[in-house]
């Protein structure tokens, strides 16, 4: 198995975070128009390319159905049969109603930017994905799943999707803006966190996985870059680009090398168990400052994962060590989280003794660290990224668009 197979489209590694800029999005600080580039009439009633059916007087979608509805963006009304793909219309996103600010993060398909809605002053983090890049990297299903799952879920420690829309070139996910920055940055800055500090975060991830798994959703991409810290010092999990509804097993290779579970490497089919494995990796990395399976090249990391030998630095306390060992178990019938009692095996482990899970869920426990926040629109807690200067030139497909159901 080649390492590149695993280091797929999303593959930024923990040790070597991918900060490569994406250079094909509109520049910072400018009001940006979407596919309706040359037709910026300053209103929010832009409608996208006219299909043959529209020319035949099919009612156009109202902007409300595009911007506030989390449902379908199809151009049909209730009285009409759905149009087939080639006849359906991609509405133009009203991205020109927003002022885009600093880039908060970048990925393989685009970037996440700070955005302010001009009329309301409402703040968002907008994940802008280039359709061409998504298609090129064969990630269409993942992106559609990301939207579908984010629309379905609601949990205090998971980022909230507020709106979504698209134009012919981009997909836009409007997320609540999480002001404290990435867990990754704080962990690298501090080196490692104390036992209690780590426990506070690990408990929140446990609560998230318990919730998602009950809905048969596997997250599959836990790592410090995808965890944000909110104003109160609690976590918010973002990036559902690999999340999937899975009842039994799935076979897609995905994840970040240091966090990949052995069953994924061995291509035996995997399920909810991968999330519990990644929790073990995260607890270890948070306590020690480095992941347990670490090497300069990916193949070396994979060999260590399969061998499964964990060397614990002295700093790891006995109970934490015990839980990590119960999570980083190759045998799924013995891994904590995967057995009959599910998440309860993890929650009832002695490392969590005395933790009030209900108080945690309701933000009633004091957070060990509160990020500095100058004002509501401060982006001080995020790394600086170079501005992007160009815009994608071509729509993904001139005729059919694979994102009609986004
Ligand atoms: N809701 C948000 N608030 C603030 N920053 C965010 C938010 N969502 C994502 N980010 C930033 O953008 C980065 C990339 O977003 P992510 O969804 O992880 O994209 P990718 O799928 O490309 O990894 C994150 O690591 C984080 O720094
Ligand atoms: Mg990510």
Q: What is the pLDDT of residues 35-48, one digit of tens each?
A: 222 222 222 222 22
Ligand 1 pocket, mutate which of 182, 230, 239 (most atoms under 8 A from CB)? 239
Q: Which domains does the chain have, with CATH numbers?
A: 3-81+181-361 (1.10.510.10), 95-175 (3.30.200.20)
Question: How much is the CA Rg of the chain, to the nearest whole Å?
Answer: 22
pTM, two decimals, is 0.80
The secondary element (H helix, E strand) that includes residue 237 is strand 235-237
| C-beta contacts of 120-125 below 8 A and 24+ residues apart | 123/177, 123/376, 123/377, 124/98, 124/162, 124/174, 124/175, 124/176, 124/177, 125/174, 125/175, 125/176, 125/177, 125/178
Residue 156 has pLDDT above 80, yes or no: yes
Ligand 1 touching residue 107 (CB < 6 A):
yes
**pLDDT at residue 224 in the model:** 98
How many alpha carbons fall within 13 Å on the CB side of residue 400?
6
| CA–CA gap between residue 60 and residue 249 (Å, rounded) | 41
Ligand 1 pocket, mutate which of 9, 112, 388 (most atoms under 8 A from CB)? 112
Ligand 1 touching residue 125 (CB < 6 A):
yes
**pLDDT at residue 50 in the model:** 26
Average pLDDT of the chain is 80
| CA–CA gap between residue 312 and residue 328 (Å, rounded) | 13
Distance 373 CA to ligand 1 centre (A): 18
Ligand 1 atom closest to Cα of 225? 25
Ligand showing the shortest atom-to-Cα distance for residue 171 = 1
Nearest to 315 by CA among 184, 228, 197, 200: 197
Q: What is the pLDDT of residues 343-377, one digit of tens each?
A: 999 999 999 999 999 999 999 999 999 999 999 99
Distance 111 CA to ligand 1 centre (A): 8
Ligand 1 atom closest to Cα of 108? 22
Q: What is the pLDDT of residues 257-276, one digit of tens each?
A: 999 999 999 988 889 999 99
Q: Are 157 and 208 in contact (CB under 8 A)?
A: yes
Ligand 1 touching residue 379 (CB < 6 A):
no
Ligand 1 touching residue 246 (CB < 6 A):
no
74 versus 49: the higher-pLDDT residue is 74
Q: What is the pLDDT of residues 120-141, one digit of tens each?
A: 999 999 999 999 999 988 899 9
**pLDDT at residue 90 in the model:** 55
Ligand 1 touching residue 159 (CB < 6 A):
yes
Nearest to 210 by CA among 275, 265, 166: 275
Give catalytic residues, as residue numbers: 221
195-214 vs 273-288: helix crossing angle, rounded to 10: 170
Ligand 1 touching residue 182 (CB < 6 A):
yes
pLDDT band at 25, cuts 50/70/90?
very low
């Amino acid at each position: 198995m080649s390492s590149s197979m695993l280091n797929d489209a999303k593959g930024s590694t923990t040790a070597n975070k991918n900060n490569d800029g994406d250079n094909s999005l509109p520049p910072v600080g400018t009001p940006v128009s979407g596919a309706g580039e040359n037709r910026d009439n300053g209103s929010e009633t832009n409608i996208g390319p006219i299909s043959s059916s529209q020319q035949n007087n099919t009612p156009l979608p109202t902007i409300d159905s595009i911007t506030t509805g989390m449902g379908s963006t199809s151009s049909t009304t209730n009285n009409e049969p759905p149009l087939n793909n080639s006849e359906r219309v991609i509405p133009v996103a009203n991205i020109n109603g927003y002022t885009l600010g600093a880039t908060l993060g970048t990925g393989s398909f685009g970037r996440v930017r700070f955005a302010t809605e001009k009329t309301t002053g409402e703040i968002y983090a907008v994940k802008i994905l280039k359709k061409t890049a998504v298609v090129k990297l064969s990630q269409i299903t993942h992106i559609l799943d990301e939207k579908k799952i984010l629309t379905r879920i609601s949990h205090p420690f998971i980022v909230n999707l507020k709106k979504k829309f698209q134009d012919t070139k981009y997909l836009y996910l409007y997320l609540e803006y999480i002001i404290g920055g990435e867990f990754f940055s704080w962990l690298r800055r501090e080196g490692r966190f104390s036992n209690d500090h780590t426990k506070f975060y690990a408990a929140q991830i446990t609560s998230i996985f318990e919730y998602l798994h009950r809905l048969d959703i596997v997250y599959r991409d836990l790592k410090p870059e995808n965890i944000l810290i909110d104003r109160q010092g609690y976590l918010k999990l973002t990036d559902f680009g690999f999340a999937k509804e899975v009842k039994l097993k799935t076979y897609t290779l995905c994840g970040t090398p240091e966090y990949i579970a052995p069953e994924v490497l061995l291509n035996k089919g995997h399920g909810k168990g991968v999330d519990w494995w990644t929790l073990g990796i995260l607890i270890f990395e948070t306590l020690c400052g480095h992941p347990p399976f670490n090497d300069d090249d990916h193949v070396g990391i994979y060999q260590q994962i399969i061998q499964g030998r964990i060397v614990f630095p002295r700093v790891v306390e006995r109970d934490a060590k015990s839980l990590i060992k119960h999570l980083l178990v190759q045998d799924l019938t013995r891994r904590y989280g995967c057995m009959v009692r599910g998440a309860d095996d993890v929650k009832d482990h002695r490392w969590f003794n005395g933790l009030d899970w209900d108080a945690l869920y309701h933000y009633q426990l004091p957070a060990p660290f509160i990020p500095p926040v100058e004002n509501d629109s401060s982006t001080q807690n995020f790394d600086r990224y170079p501005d992007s200067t160009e815009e994608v030139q071509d729509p993904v497909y001139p005729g059919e668009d694979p994102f009609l159901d986004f």
